[in-house]
Chain A
């Protein structure tokens, strides 16, 4: 039976350990630098003394009797021959020496002022926190430097200098740690408080070590190499040095050796103890291995990216996970994930043997680890784990019985959690079903790219396999793709048709689209529909009829297409679905796109998430399939414009150019009407920009009026799959003004942007207006201008993305433990109220339709009276 103890930490105190405490805590006094005797057994009083804990299997700790992993280790101590400064407290020691009297130890502040100083410190702490208090202490200490005479005993004060890292000089004379310690001892308790030390818990002189704790062997285990040789931990090496030098220092002092020798050894001991705590002290050469690499001592273990905190505490690693490049597979179901076979043979699922599945699980063991679907490990009821290999599997098969756990290979239908970083919202981690596939990438249905924000230009994703029934159930209920369909941000479907699929659905649901019945059946088969009874019994099937076969028979819907504008009298701009038949309107982004329109939202609401997901998959694939058969391509001729249109565009642009010339002329003559708060030149720039932008917009309009509507590029635009009219205008007529920092291009040489222009040229061409389309090709200087803006915007996005990402991260972390309680209030982790009613209206957005509640529907469908 495991025993549990419940305790609550009420307070934590930080301080120095007293020599007395170090001795009480210790179990062994270390007296010899030797580690092992001739038999390889740890020496008593050595650094590997078995009273310090056990690191060898089979041995028992002499202190607590625990075995390996049971005994957490025990401290030892060594008596230092001479006191040594603790390197981490040198700056504190310096502060204390400088601002106390060298004779009587009192703080160099007159009695009457000391109370005001304390009050001031308390006030600062209350207002601005502990950090501000420390800064204030620094400030006060620096004022005591100037005091030349002790206000209490009138003793003359001498200037104290630190010679880094740990030597103190008082007017050229060196202060030994012994002297430092006696001075610190003299500081009275009431003065110690000023330095932020609680005199009840610790004394300043404890920052000069007279005894040193020896950490337990469990935190510095030695490794036995293959050759049988023992290799000790860095800390053990360092401790060995300390003990050895300490021993020599003792011997020399006792033998009455000359002071120089003793001092040299003392300094050496100081060096070893300093590097034991921190091997990266600025002025000290780091202690090295024989191979030359620096030793990793205490500070290096805790700090930095590879240290305990960032590497082991904040950054945990998971087993049963996989990560690779992703690629699309529209033949998968939306809630499936394609897993490479070699991954499936490495990651396992534990299954417990029972009377009823014994034969089933036996097959996995028979297959072994090298053929799929096999198994890798067998766990016996006593917790022993056995690797299944081709050699051992015969024997394992014999001992197989209920209660054993077989770790079998991953198989189709297993549950997996799929994730792409940055995990910004909950749809970044969803639960998928495994499909084991050949090749080496993880595969996902293109429709779930949106919630993951994934594309296939080299993105990688992570896969996790839950290992217990509870974990699997939780993942299924809370994280399944279908449970994540409706976004909690805006209450609409986050998954919808995209790209080709949208184009395809648009083409299919055009008024005049027909396919022969045979082809209709072919298409339906391809998208996984096997029941053709919904198809009308006709030779020719219209696209809308084909689409309607997917819809439930009792589904009614009214919505608008992308083309709809109030007042437009076009029956096809309004989507009407009556009894599961699409009467009018075409399917475009406004209805099938992610985060748009209520079509998908309503399907989800009336028929449930399971159905909605299935239907979504079918719609998605129907679009793709239709596009595949129908054909879809774009050529340069698609952006050609009629001669009449071309003439009009040229006329429009020439007019604009003339306007610019005229503006420049009036500016040169000084007749330009100046805008308030601007210089003449600024006014001109603004006016030119205005004229040119107007011209470009008008070109865009002319293009959209005259462009050929019957092209696939236009269909893409109209369906909302890709592109917009501006893109066409840029290709066929006018690229427009290249803007750099909100204005025209004004960089380059003296008075001109490029050397092909005359100095002082203010014209449209010289400052980055491109008056023709991409189709016509760019002139060299136009290409140069485009490169300028291109580089600028690239740098801009490259710099902005991490900034906004970090901003969002901070926001998300600040809000992470806010929670809606059962009384509808939003409260933080300490149950303080943040909002009295969630979001003012108390609505769960994911249960609404785009943020509103359809009251009429609720009333209409209410049962009874």
Chain B
């Protein structure tokens, strides 16, 4: 049961498709290890069916820049 994702302070988390993931890594000339991280057992991504190596796209509402996207690489939780 995840109530966390319904909280209004928790931004929208979504899984990135393999194609989008590849494009993202190419855009920034990075490997997946260079992305910020998120644990597999993070409450916000419990219903997303993710495994380590996936990339999560987070859409936040910014007071200064409208909607902004942030990306995190999924890693093994403790």
Contact = CB atoms under 8 A, between A and B. Distances in A.
Interface of A: 823, 825, 827, 831-834, 836-837, 839-843, 851
Contacts of B33: 832
Given A833-B34, A833-B36, A836-B71, A823 B28 contact: yes
Nearest to B36: A833
B28 A825 contact: yes
A840 B28 contact: no
A113 B68 CA distance: 55
Contacts of A842: 65
A735 B19 CA distance: 70
Interface of A is mostly: loop
Contacts of A841: 62, 64-65, 68
Contacts of B60: 840
A831 B34 contact: yes
Nearest to B33: A832
Nearest to B27: A823
A823 B27 CA distance: 9
Nearest to B66: A841
A832 B70 CA distance: 14
Contacts of A840: 60, 62, 64-65, 68
B35 interface: yes
Interface string B45-57: 0000000000000
A836 B34 CA distance: 12
A832 B62 CA distance: 23
Name, among A833, A839, A851, the residue most crowded by chain B CB atoms within 10 Å (CB to CB). A833
B35 A833 contact: yes
29 contacts: A823-B28, A823-B29, A825-B28, A827-B34, A831-B30, A831-B34, A832-B33, A832-B34, A832-B35, A832-B36, A833-B28, A833-B30, A833-B34, A833-B35, A836-B28, A836-B68, A836-B69, A836-B70, A836-B71, A837-B65, A837-B68, A839-B64, A840-B62, A840-B64, A840-B65, A840-B68, A841-B62, A841-B65, A842-B65
B66 to A, nearest CB: 9
Contacts of A836: 28, 68-71
A156 B25 CA distance: 64
Contacts of B68: 836-837, 840-841
A840 B68 CA distance: 7
Nearest to B24: A836
Given A841-B68, A851-B64, 11 more contacts: A823-B28, A831-B34, A832-B33, A832-B36, A833-B34, A833-B35, A836-B28, A836-B69, A839-B64, A842-B65, A843-B64
B45 to A, nearest CB: 18
A190 to B, nearest CB: 31
Nearest to A852: B64
A753 B33 CA distance: 64
The 5 closest A-B pairs by CB, nearest first: A841-B65, A841-B64, A840-B62, A832-B34, A840-B68
Nearest to A842: B65
